[in-house]
Amino acid sequence: MDTTTVAALSGNIATIGYGLAAIGPAIGVGIVVGKTIESVARQPELQGRLQVLMYIGIAFTEALALIGIATYYLFTTGQ
């Protein structure tokens, strides 16, 4: 294969990789929010504390997506 084909193929693979890397955090955020809603429905007096913990969980989960996009740009720019 020539270098142009290899470069195009590696860019496509990096794009697919980022797409897969974004699926995990999206599922994780959905689970975190869903479990928080269940917990608030069960014990409404803990809503404030659970909301803070939910935001912390979302932040850690979204960090995975940021790592994925950074890796995508690292591989597509050739650095």
Residue range 21-44, pLDDT digits in tens: 778 888 989 999 999 999 999 999
Of the options 1.20.20.10, 3.20.20.450, 2.60.40.10, 3.90.170.10, the CATH number for the domain spanning 3-77: 1.20.20.10
Q: How many of the other CB atoms lie within 10 Å of CB of 23? A: 12
Domain extent listing, the chain: 3-77
pLDDT of residue 27: 92
pTM over 0.85: no
Nearest to 67 by CA among 20, 21, 16: 21
Among the residues of 1-79, which ranges form H helices?
3-42, 47-77
